[in-house]
Amino acid sequence: MDASRPSQPALPPDPPSAAEAPAGWPPAPAEAARAAQGPLTEATPPGRTRPRFEELAPGPPIWPGWVAIPIGFLAAVAGDGVAEFLIAQHVSGTSPTIALWIGVIGALVLMGGLSWLAVASIIRRRALPADRYRGPSVLVIFAMIELGLPFLLVPPLLAFTGGDIETLSSPGALTLQLLITPLGFFALLAVFVAVPRALDGVRLWLGAASVRQAVIGLLAGLLVWSAAQVLAGVLVAILHLLGINPEGEQEVTAIAQQLPVPVAVLTIAVLAPIAEELFFRGFVFNAWEREYGTRRALIGATLLFGLAHVPGGTPLAVVVVLLLGLLLTGVYARTRNLATTIGIHATFNLASVLALFLLSGHG
């Protein structure tokens, strides 16, 4: 070999001839990019961007949903409000039945409008590749849970209790509410996400790995709960020094104190963590990650988790919940195993419930 002559770079291989070329050659730019990126796996989030309008298939108009939502909301608020007023004031000769029916119809119209938006999104997103998010807006499903389900629940509960508002806080009524909420999570996710395969490729159960991670999560939850108590104590001390009294009881605390221990453990420490992790980490995080990328999905899922706990929560508790949501979302983004966050969340809630009962002397 002549050392004075520089070595020549290897020439790229010639493209196949027309007779030798396989079907689909040359590859389209989008297909080539996907092939270079590799298949979608739990360990390598795609971090895709939100689909452009021209990528979506034609579908039904969305205006009927936007018309039905405010009408149903106002009717549900008016019907439930009038019914509760008539019951509380014991207005003679006036029955709350009509108001209750208006509340029920309003709630159904509200859920119908939200469902219309959800179905329209599923139809329009069906043309997207399987590794994109092809389901309804996260906020639409969130509104169904936070607005639609409660409005649907109030009139039947009032009718079931015979119009006695005080019995709404009875153990039976509270247990019914705590059972319906997670079941609503499961039903909505099944209908609008699982059935249309909106998050194709996302695995919620990883076999033996999930069992191992669940045990790790259950043990780690004790450390997380202990750290949260220390943080809450420090924050309370700082606020007292500033002359601010952060005392106050969360709604879930008042509910738990009125329930038998097994019922409180089942609903608050078992069903609630599974339902919330399926929704906020399994659904919200993965959906927003495929639309906006991992970082925005982590922030968005954390904020939405905190927002869901604002009603009935004290400001201090909301801060702790936000930090817990950030931790849980970060753990899921790292492990891609939902069993880990379910374990942490379950132990956190279980320790909180047991500590509440021990401190109150409730048997």
**What confidence tens digit (pLDDT) does each residue in 293-351 have?**
999 999 999 999 999 988 877 888 889 999 999 999 999 999 999 999 999 999 999 99
Helices (H), 42-170: 63-89, 97-124, 138-143, 149-160
Q: What is the mean pLDDT of each run of 10 residues along the chain (363 residues)?
A: 46 50 47 40 48 71 95 92 77 73 92 96 90 93 91 75 61 79 92 95 90 95 95 88 73 76 90 96 96 94 93 83 96 95 96 84 58
CA distance 185 to 148: 12
Contact between residue 296 and residue 288 where contact means Cβ atoms under 8 Å apart:
yes
C-alpha span between 349 and 276 (Å, rounded): 12
Tell me the pLDDT tens digit for each residue of 195-232.
999 999 999 888 899 999 999 999 999 999 999 999 98
CA 42 to chain centre: 19
Cis-peptide, bond into residue 311, ω within 30° of zero: no
Residue type, 82: V
Taking a C-beta distance cutoff of 8 angstroms, is the pair 120, 62 a contact? Answer: yes
Query: What is the spatial distance between Cα 106 and Cα 99, in angstroms, rounded to a whole number?
Result: 10
- CA–CA distance, 241 with 131 (Å, rounded to integer): 52
Alpha-carbon distance 75 to 69, whole Å?
10
Measured distance CA(274)–CA(255) in Å, rounded: 19
Q: Does 16 sit behind a cis peptide bond, omega within 30 degrees of 0 on the bond before it?
A: no
User: How distant is the alpha carbon of residue 345 from its chain centre?
Assistant: 14
The alpha carbons of the chain give a radius of gyration, in whole angstroms, of 26
- What does the pLDDT read at residue 51? 61
- For residue 124, give the nearest of 66, 61, 200 by alpha carbon: 61
Residue with tokens 């298949």: 39
List Cβ neighbours of 243 (8 Å cut-off, separation of 6 or more): none
What's the pLDDT score for residue 142?
A: 95
Q: How many other CB atoms are there within 10 angstroms of residue 283's CB atom?
A: 27
- C-alpha 56/C-alpha 75 separation (Å) is 33
Local structure of residue 18 (DSSP, 8 states): T
The answer to whether residues 154 and 80 touch, using CB atoms and an 8 Å cutoff, is yes
Alpha-helix runs per DSSP H in the chain: 29-37, 63-89, 97-124, 138-143, 149-160, 171-189, 208-241, 251-257, 261-264, 272-277, 286-292, 294-308, 315-335, 338-360
pTM for the full predicted model:
0.82
Is residue 174 within 8 A of residue 252, CB to CB? The reply is no
pLDDT at residue 53, as a whole number: 56
